[in-house]
C-alpha cells in the first residue's frame, strides 16, 4: 500500500512550515499544511499515553512524573506480553477458500457462501476465525473429507504448474497436495443448494478448458464426507467468531467449513465498499470496491484474517450483466443466472496461495487500455489499465510503463511475475495512494492517471512512483509476506526502496536517488523526536496495525535496506535477495530470515566474512531513533576520533535510548577528491561508543564522512573541519547535490539542538547566493529555512528573514527567468515551482502581482476549463491567490472544485483551499468537510495554516468533537489522526499546548488508538516552544546584521560569526555531548569502547 498524499505529509512536520510546498513522494504537489500524521501506536501505549496526558494536565513536572501510566524503561510498551485473546489460534489452518458472492450495488447489500478447507494440528473442539459486521446464517456446516487412492487422469494446468508445486514448500503445517481435488468435491457434496450445484458444473467445464490431460497416475481422490455437528456459533472479542463442535477435529484430515453470510456494501473506504462518480451524461454511477489491508477482509467474508494464514482462493461473483467484475485472477467463465434475468455469474480462476489482505474484487462499468509483455518463463501476460470511461485517455502513461517495470523487476527479483494477468484500476473514492492486491492493483485516480495534455511533471512522477511501488509488492509482500504486522516494515520498506530503483530505471532523468536522499533527510527530523519508534515494533493486536503504516515503516525501512545494500555491495545484495525470495515464496518470513539470506550470500565474499548481517541490522531495526557521529581530527597526526551518540530533539530523552549503540558503517573521503574515487562502502566500523581511525588526508583538505548520505545518521565535525567544508562548499568544490544538501541539513539540525553554532548553518546557506541549479539543494535548504520561517513568523525579526531570503533567491530566480519561460526539463520545472513559491512567501511584489494577474486571467474565462496558468505553476498561484485574497478567490475555486470532473483539478484545489487567512472561510471549509466534500478529500480541509487556521480548527474540533470523530473514523483508521494533526500540528505557544493536553484528556477513550500521534504532537510542540524561546532573538539578530551589511560579505572565505547567538552547545541541557568547537572535548569516559 502507498500512503495517501495527505498521510505522507506528516513527514518532518516538526520542521516544516505549514504553508510550504512539500514535494511528497507519492502525492501530487500539495501544501504541507496538510499535516496528516498517522503514526500512532494503539493499545499497548494507551495506558502509557493517557498517563502522560494526565500527568501533563495535572501540571506535574516531567522529573516528578508518576509511574502509574508511563514506564520510562519501556516507552513503546515493547515488553507488554501479547494479549492471549486477540490473535487467532494456530490449531486450525485454512488452505483453500471457495467464495461465492452475490452483490447488489443498487441496494448496497451482498450475500455469500464460503467453503473453507481447513486442517487441525491439534484435536480442538472449536474453530476460531474472523468476521466483522456480517450476519452469519445458522446453517453452517462442517464436513470431514475422506479420501482414498484411485487411478485417475491427473489434471495439471497448462501454465505455471510450478506455482502449485511450490506451495508444498511452505513452512506452514499445511499439506496442500489434496486440496485441488477437494475443491470440486466441495461443490459436489453440497448438492442441496441449487446455486452451488450449478456452480459445480461450471467449475468442471472451466477445468476442461484450462487443463491438459497427463498420463494415468495414482492420485488421492475424494470418496466420502462425514458431517460434524456445530453446537453453536458465538461472537468473540477482536472480530472473531467461535464455532463450538460436538466432537474434536482429527489432525491432518481435511474438513470443509461452509458458512453463509450477508453484509452491507459500506460507505466507508475499507472492506467491500461503494464508490461513485458522475459520468459525462450527469448520471451517478456506482462501483463496488475492496480495500482489505490490513484487517478488512473479515468484513467481506468470514476468514482467517492474518497474513500467515495463506490459502488459495476461488471466487465467483453474481452481478448485473451491464457491469464488469474483476478479481485477482483471470475470468475463466461467465454464465447467466436463470432465476435472475439480466444477471450473471463471473467465475475467476483459482489463485495462488496468498494472504487474505491481498484478495480483491471490483465491480464497475469501467473501460480499459490493454497491452502485454512476455515474462521470464515465456508466458504472455496481458496488462490492462481500467478507469471510468471519461478518463481513459489518461491511462496511456500507466499502460506504457507497467510492462517495463514488470519486466525489469523480474531481473531484480530473479523470479517471473507469478500470475497470468495484471489489472490496474483507478478508483474514484480511495483512501490510501494505492493497494497492491495481487493481480488487481487499486489506485486513487490521481496516482494512476496522467494527463498528457497538461503534462505536469510532478503528476507524472507520482504516477510512476506509485505504480513502481505496487508492482514491487507483487514479489516483496505478495509472493513473500511478513509473518505478522510487526514486520510490516519489511513489505513497505522494501517496496519503497525498490520504487526508486524502478522509477530510476524507466525515467533516469529524474535523479530518483536525489529524491531518495531528500526524503531521508526529511525523515531524520521527525525520527529525532523523543517518542519516535523503531521500524520493528511489536504489534499485539489488530487495533495497532494501522498505526504501523507510517514513514518509519516506509522511508526508514527503505533507508536501512539501502544502507545494507551499499555495505555488502550491490552484487551480494542481489544474490541475497534472490535467495530470500526463492526460500520463502508463497510463504511468510520475518526480518531475521532476510538477514540470514543476505548472510548466505555474503559468505562468498572473503571481505565480508566477519560481518554479521543480523547483528548489524538489529541495531538499526530494533532500536528507535538514530545516532550522530562526532568526528574530531588531529591535524598533526592524521588520526581521527569518532564517537556515536543518540541524536534527539528531546531535552530529556529516555535513558534507554541514550544508552543505545549502533553498528555504524563509516565511509569517508577528502571532499576535494574526484567524485569518481568516492566510495559508499564502509572503510571502518563504529560499534562501540568511540574509536580512532587513521585517515590519510592532508590537514588542509576537508574530511567528509558518510559518503552519499547512505548511512542513516548525521555527522558533526570539529570546528576546523566545518570551516574547511564550508569553504569547499562555497568555492564550488563540492559538486554533488546530495553532499551539499547533506552538509546543509546536518548543520541546521545540529544547530537546532545546540550541537553546532547557528552561524555555521546560516553561513552555509550563502553558498547559493551566486546561483544554484540543483533542485535537491534548494529543496533541502528551503525545507530548513521553512522551520525558521514558521517559528520566526510572529517576531519582529521576520522582516529581516524575508529580506535575507530575497537575497539568496535572487540570482537563481533571475537565471530561471522567474518561471516565465518554459522549463527545459522536468527537474527544471520542480526547481522553478519551489523558487517562485518562496518568492511569493517572502512577499516579493513581483511575485504577488504576477500570481494575481495569472489568477485574474483565469477567472475572466467563460469556461473554467480554459485555464491559462502554466499547469506546473497552478498550485502556487492558487495558494498565493487564496492567501492574499478573500471570499472572491475562495468562491471561484470552490465552484471549480465542485463542478470539475477531473480528479487532478479537484485535488489540487482542495489541497490549497485551507491556505486562506479568512476566519469565516476556514470555518466554512471545516463545516463542509463534514458534509459536501467527498470522502477522500475531506481530510484535506483540515490542513489549515497557523495561527488563524489552526486556532479555528482547534475550536471547531473541540466544539464538534463527536461529529468530527464519527465522520472521519467511519471512513478508515487513518483519517482522524490526520484531522487532529491538522489542528494541533503547529503549536508554538504554551497556551496551545495545554489546550492540546486538555483536549486529549477529555476525549481519552476515543483517542486511545492514536496515542502515538498525540505523543508526537506534544513532543513537537514542546521542542518548538523551547526553540523559539532560546533561538528566535539571536537568529533574528543574525538576519538583521546580514541584511544591514554588518556581517562579512558572503564571498568571504570565513564564516559569518554569530556572536549574539549563545553557543548553546556549551550550556545545553541535553545529555548529548558536543564536539564543537573544542577538539579536545571528545569524551574519553571509561564506558567508551573502541572497536573498528
Q: State the minimum distance, in angstroms, from the CB of residue 293 to Zn ion.
A: 9
Active-site choice (293, 306, 436, 470): 470
Q: Which stretch binds Zn ion (CB under 5 A): 48-56, 251-259, 331-339, 484-492?
A: 484-492
Phi, psi for residue 211 in degrees, rounded to 5 = -125, 165
129 vs 809: CA distance, rounded Å: 61
Give the count of beta carbons closer than 10 Å to the beta carbon of residue 1086.
6
Stretch that binds Zn ion, among 249-257, 321-329, 493-501, 603-611 (CB under 5 A): 493-501
Asked if 362 touches Zn ion (CB under 5 A), the answer is no
Q: How far apart are CA 679 and CA 178, in angstroms?
A: 54
| Beta carbon of residue 482, minimum distance to Zn ion (angstroms, whole number) | 12
8 Å CB contact between 929 and 942: yes
Q: Which is nearer to Zn ion, 6 or 741 (CB)?
A: 6
Nearer to Zn ion, 1 or 101 (CB): 1
Contacting range for Zn ion; rule: CB under 5 A; set: 106-114, 121-129, 494-502, 762-770: 494-502
> CB of 78 within 8 A of CB of 538?
yes
Secondary structure letter of residue 354 according to DSSP: B
Q: Of 148-156, 241-249, 488-496, 521-529, which segment contacts Zn ion by CB under 5 A? A: 488-496
Q: How far apart are CA 132 and CA 546, in angstroms?
A: 17
**Nearest in space to 442 (alpha carbons), one of 271, 272, 268, 291:** 291
Nearer to Zn ion, 465 or 495 (CB): 495
User: From the CB of 436, what's the least distance to Zn ion, in Å?
Assistant: 6
Helix, strand, coil proportions of the chain in percent (round to 5)?
45, 20, 35
Choice from 1, 836, 964, 1055 touching Zn ion (CB under 5 A): 1
End-to-end CA distance of the chain: 40
- Residue placing its CB nearer to Zn ion in the complex, 20 or 492: 492
Question: Interacting stretch for Zn ion, rule CB under 5 A, among 243-251, 489-497, 1004-1012, 1026-1034?
Answer: 489-497
**Minimum CB distance to Zn ion smaller for 164 or for 492:** 492
**Among candidates 250, 276, 253, which has minimal Cα distance to 265?**
276
- For 285, phi then psi, to 5°, come to -115, 145
User: In the complex, what is the shortest distance from the CB of residue 37 to Zn ion, in angstroms, rounded to a whole number?
Assistant: 18
Q: How far is the CB of 441 from Zn ion (least distance, A)?
A: 10
State yes or no: residue 628 binds Zn ion (CB under 5 A). Answer: no
What is residue 754's DSSP assignment?
Answer: T
> Cβ of residue 469: shortest distance to Zn ion, in angstroms?
6
Would you give the binding string for Zn ion spanning residues 1057-1086, x where CB under 5 A is met?
------------------------------
CA 378 to chain centre: 34
Query: Which residues, other chains included, contact 814 with Cβ-Cβ below 8 Å and sequence gap of 6+?
Result: none
The set of residues, in sequence order, having a beta carbon less than 8 Å from that of 136 and lying 6+ positions away, is 233, 241, 259, 260, 261, 302
CB of 327 to Zn ion, least distance (A): 20
Residue 715 found at the interface with Zn ion (CB under 5 A): no
Give whichever of 307 and 754 is closer to Zn ion, judged by the CB atom. 307
- Candidate segments 492-500, 710-718, 922-930, 1029-1037, binder of Zn ion by CB under 5 A: 492-500
Question: Cβ of residue 438: shortest distance to Zn ion, in angstroms?
Answer: 13
1028 belongs to the binding site for Zn ion (CB under 5 A): no
Q: Which of 874, 1074, 1012, 1017 is nearest to 39 (CA)?
A: 1012
Q: For residue 661, what are the contacts with CB-CB under 8 A and spacing of at least 6?
A: 619, 644, 687, 688, 689
Q: Is 894 helix (H, G, I), strand (E, B) or coil?
A: helix
Cβ closer to Zn ion: 9 or 812?
9
Identify whether 144 is a catalytic site residue: no
One symbol per residue from 438 to 477: x for binding Zn ion (CB under 5 A), - otherwise; what is it? ----------------------------------------
Could you tell me if 458 and 447 are in contact, meaning their C-beta atoms sit under 8 angstroms apart? no
d(CA 304, CA 387): 32
Q: How far is the CB of 294 from Zn ion (least distance, A)?
A: 11
d(CA 714, CA 723): 17
* Smallest separation, CB 488 to Zn ion (Å): 9
Q: Which is nearer to Zn ion, 306 or 466 (CB)?
A: 466
Q: Comparing C-alpha atoms, which of 467, 542, 529 is closest to residue 503?
A: 467
| Nearer to Zn ion (CB atom), residue 494 or residue 584 | 494
Nearest to 431 by CA among 444, 440, 441, 442: 444
Toward Zn ion, which CB reaches closer, 497 or 712?
497
Tell me the C-alpha distance between 27 and 1012, whole Å.
24
Smallest separation (angstroms) from Zn ion to the CB of 8: 12
867 to each of 579, 590, 829, 897, 1016, how far by Cα in Å? Answer: 53, 51, 18, 14, 41
Question: Are the CB atoms for 903 and 449 separated by under 8 Å?
Answer: yes
Total residues contacting Zn ion (rule CB under 5 A)? Answer: 3
Nearest Cα to Cα of residue 546 among 975, 844, 967: 975
Q: Which is nearer to Zn ion, 1 or 479 (CB)?
A: 1
Contact by Cβ (8 Å): 1085, 641: no
Packing angle of the helix pair 570-584, 557-568 (nearest 10 deg): 120
Q: What's the CA gap between 786 and 155, in Å, rounded?
A: 65
User: Which of 63, 1019, 74, 993 is CA-nearest to residue 528?
Assistant: 1019
Beta bridge partners of 53: none
Smallest distance, Zn ion to C-beta of residue 554, A: 7
Q: CA–CA separation, 324 vs 332, rounded Å?
A: 14
Q: Is 495 in the site for Zn ion (CB under 5 A)?
A: yes
Q: Which residue number, 126 or 499, has a Cβ lying nearer to Zn ion? A: 499
Supply the residues annotated as catalytic.
470
Which residues form the interface with Zn ion (CB under 5 A)? 1, 492, 495
Amino acid at each position: 500500500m502507498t500512503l495517501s498524499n495527505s498521510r505522507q505529509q506528516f513527514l518532518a512536520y516538526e520542521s516544516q512550515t505549514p504553508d510550504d510546498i512539500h514535494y511528497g513522494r507519492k502525492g501530487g504537489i500539495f501544501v504541507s499544511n496538510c499535516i496528516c500524521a498517522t503514526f500512532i501506536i494503539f493499545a499497548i501505549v494507551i495506558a502509557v499515553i493517557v498517563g502522560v496526558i494526565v500527568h501533563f494536565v495535572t501540571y506535574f513536572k516531567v522529573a516528578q512524573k508518576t509511574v502509574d501510566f508511563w514506564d520510562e524503561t519501556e516507552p513503546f510498551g515493547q515488553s507488554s506480553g501479547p494479549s492471549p485473546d486477540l490473535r487467532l489460534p494456530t490449531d486450525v489452518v485454512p488452505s483453500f477458500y471457495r467464495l461465492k458472492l452475490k452483490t447488489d450495488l443498487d441496494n448496497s447489500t451482498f450475500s455469500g457462501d464460503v467453503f473453507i478447507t481447513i486442517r487441525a494440528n491439534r484435536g480442538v473442539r472449536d474453530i476460531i476465525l474472523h468476521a466483522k459486521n456480517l450476519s452469519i446464517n445458522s446453517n453452517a456446516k462442517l464436513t470431514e473429507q475422506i479420501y482414498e487412492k484411485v487411478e485417475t487422469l491427473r489434471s495439471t494446468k497448462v501454465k505455471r504448474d510450478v506455482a502449485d508445486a511450490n506451495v508444498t514448500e511452505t513452512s506452514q503445517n499445511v499439506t496442500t497436495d489434496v486440496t485441488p481435488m477437494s475443491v470440486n468435491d466441495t461443490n459436489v457434496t453440497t448438492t442441496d443448494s441449487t446455486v452451488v450445484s450449478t456452480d459445480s458444473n461450471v467449475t468442471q467445464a472451466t477445468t476442461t478448458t484450462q487443463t491438459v490431460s497427463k498420463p494415468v497416475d495414482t492420485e488421492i481422490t475424494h470418496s466420502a464426507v462425514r458431517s460434524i455437528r456445530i453446537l453453536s456459533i458465538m461472537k468473540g472479542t477482536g472480530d472473531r467468531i467461535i464455532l463450538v463442535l460436538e466432537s474434536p477435529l482429527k489432525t491432518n484430515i481435511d474438513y470443509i467449513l461452509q458458512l453463509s453470510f450477508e453484509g452491507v456494501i459500506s460507505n466507508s473506504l475499507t472492506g467491500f465498499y461503494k464508490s461513485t462518480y458522475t459520468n459525462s451524461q450527469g448520471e451517478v454511477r456506482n462501483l463496488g470496491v475492496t480495500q482489505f489491508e490490513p484487517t478488512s477482509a473479515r468484513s467481506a467474508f468470514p476468514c482467517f484474517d492474518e497474513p500467515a494464514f495463506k490459502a488459495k482462493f476461488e471466487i465467483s461473483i453474481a452481478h448485473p450483466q451491464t457491469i464488469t467484475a474483476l478479481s485477482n485472477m483471470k475470468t475463466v467463465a461467465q454464465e447467466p443466472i436463470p432465476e435472475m434475468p439480466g444477471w450473471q455469474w463471473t467465475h475467476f480462476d483459482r489463485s495462488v496461495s496468498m494472504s487474505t489482505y491481498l484478495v480483491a474484487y471490483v465491480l464497475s462499468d469501467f473501460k480499459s487500455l490493454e497491452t502485454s509483455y512476455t515474462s521470464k518463463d515465456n508466458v504472455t501476460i496481458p496488462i490492462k489499465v481500467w478507469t471510468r470511461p471519461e478518463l481513459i485517455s489518461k491511462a496511456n502513461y500507466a499502460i506504457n510503463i507497467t510492462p517495463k517495470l514488470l519486466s525489469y523487476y523480474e531481473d531484480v527479483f530473479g523470479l517471473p511475475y507469478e500470475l497470468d494477468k495484471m489489472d490496474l484500476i483507478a478508483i474514484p473514492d480511495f483512501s490510501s495512494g494505492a493497494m497492491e492486491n495481487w493481480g488487481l492493483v487499486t489506485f486513487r485516480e490521481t496516482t494512476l492517471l496522467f494527463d498528457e495534455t497538461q503534462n505536469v511533471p510532478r503528476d507524472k512522477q507520482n504516477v510512476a512512483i506509485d505504480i513502481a511501488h505496487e508492482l514491487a509488492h507483487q514479489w516483496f509482500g505478495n509472493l513473500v509476506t511478513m509473518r505478522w504486522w510487526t514486520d510490516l516494515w519489511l513489505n513497505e520498506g522494501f517496496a519503497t526502496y525498490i520504487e526508486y530503483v524502478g522509477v530510476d530505471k524507466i525515467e533516469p532523468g529524474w535523479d530518483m536517488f536525489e529524491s531518495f536522499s531528500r526524503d531521508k533527510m526529511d525523515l531524520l527530523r521527525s525520527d529525532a523526536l523523543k517518542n519516535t519508534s523503531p521500524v520493528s515494533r511489536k504489534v499485539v493486536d489488530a487495533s495497532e496495525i494501522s498505526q504501523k503504516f507510517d514513514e518509519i515503516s516506509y522511508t526508514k525501512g527503505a533507508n536501512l535496506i539501502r544502507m545494507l545494500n551499499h555495505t555488502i555491495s550491490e552484487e551480494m545484495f542481489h544474490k541475497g535477495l534472490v535467495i530470500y525470495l526463492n526460500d520463502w515464496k508463497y510463504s511468510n518470513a520475518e526480518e531475521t530470515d532476510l538477514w540470514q539470506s543476505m548472510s548466505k550470500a555474503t559468505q562468498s565474499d572473503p571481505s565480508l566474512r566477519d560481518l554479521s548481517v543480523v547483528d548489524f541490522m538489529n541495531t538499526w531495526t530494533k532500536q528507535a531513533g538514530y545516532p550522530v557521529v562526532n568526528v574530531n581530527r588531529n591535524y598533526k597526526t592524521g588520526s581521527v576520533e569518532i564517537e556515536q551518540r543518540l541524536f534527539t530533539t528531546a531535552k530529556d530523552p529516555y535513558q534507554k535510548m541514550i544508552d543505545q549503540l549502533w553498528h555504524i558503517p563509516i565511509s569517508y573521503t577528502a571532499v576535494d577528491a574526484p567524485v569518481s574515487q568516492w566510495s559508499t562502502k564502509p572503510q571502518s566500523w563504529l560499534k562501540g561508543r568511540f574509536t580512532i581511525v587513521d585517515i590519510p588526508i592532508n590537514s588542509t583538505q576537508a574530511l567528509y564522512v558518510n559518503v552519499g548520505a547512505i548511512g542513516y545518521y548525521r555527522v558533526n565535525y570539529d570546528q576546523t573541519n566545518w570551516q574547511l567544508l564550508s569553504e569547499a562548499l562555497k568555492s564550488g568544490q563540492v559538486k554533488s547535490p546530495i553532499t551539499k544538501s547533506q552538509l546543509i541539513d546536518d548543520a541546521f539540525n545540529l544547530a537546532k539542538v545546540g550541537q553546532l553554532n547557528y552561524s555555521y548553518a546560516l553561513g552555509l546557506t550563502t553558498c547559493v547566493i551566486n546561483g544554484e541549479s540543483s533542485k535537491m539543494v534548494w529543496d533541502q535548504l528551503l525545507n530548513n529555512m521553512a522551520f525558521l520561517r514558521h517559528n520566526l513568523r510572529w517576531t519582529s525579526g521576520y522582516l529581516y528573514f524575508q529580506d535575507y531570503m530575497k537575497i539568496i533567491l535572487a540570482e537563481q530566480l533571475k537565471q530561471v527567468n522567474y518561471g516565465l519561460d518554459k522549463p527545459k526539463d522536468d527537474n527544471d520545472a520542480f526547481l522553478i515551482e519551489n523558487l517562485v513559491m518562496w518568492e511569493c512567501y517572502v512577499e516579493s511584489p513581483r511575485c504577488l502581482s504576477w500570481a494575481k494577474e495569472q489568477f485574474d486571467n483565469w477567472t475572466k474565462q467563460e469556461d473554467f476549463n480554459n485555464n491559462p496558468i502554466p499547469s506546473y505553476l497552478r498550485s502556487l498561484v492558487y495558494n498565493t491567490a487564496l492567501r492574499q485574497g478573500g471570499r472572491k478567490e475562495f468562491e471561484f475555486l470552490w465552484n471549480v472544485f465542485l463542478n470539475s470532473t477531473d480528479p487532478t483539478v479537484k485535488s489540487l484545489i482542495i489541497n490549497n483551499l485551507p491556505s486562506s487567512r479568512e476566519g469565516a472561510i476556514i470555518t466554512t471549509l471545516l463545516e463542509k468537510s463534514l458534509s459536501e466534500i467527498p470522502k477522500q478529500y475531506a481530510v484535506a480541509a483540515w490542513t489549515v495554516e497557523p495561527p488563524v487556521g489552526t486556532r479555528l480548527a482547534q475550536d471547531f474540533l473541540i466544539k464538534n468533537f463527536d461529529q468530527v470523530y464519527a465522520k472521519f473514523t467511519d471512513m478508515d483508521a487513518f483519517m482522524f489522526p490526520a484531522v487532529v494533526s491538522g489542528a494541533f500540528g503547529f503549536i508554538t505557544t504554551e497556551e496551545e499546548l495545554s489546550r492540546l493536553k486538555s483536549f486529549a484528556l477529555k476525549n481519552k477513550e476515543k483517542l486511545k488508538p492514536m496515542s502515538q500521534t498525540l505523543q508526537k504532537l506534544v513532543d513537537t510542540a514542546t521542542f518548538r516552544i523551547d526553540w523559539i524561546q532560546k533561538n528566535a532573538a539571536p537568529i533574528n539578530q543574525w538576519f538583521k546584521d546580514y541584511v544591514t551589511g554588518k556581517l562579512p560579505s558572503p564571498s568571504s572565505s570565513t564564516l559569518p560569526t554569530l556572536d549574539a547567538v549563545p553557543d548553546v552547545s556549551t550550556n545545553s541541557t541535553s545529555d548529548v555531548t558536543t564536539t564543537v568547537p573544542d577538539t579536545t572535548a571528545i569524551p574519553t569516559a571509561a564506558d567508551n569502547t573502541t572497536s573498528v
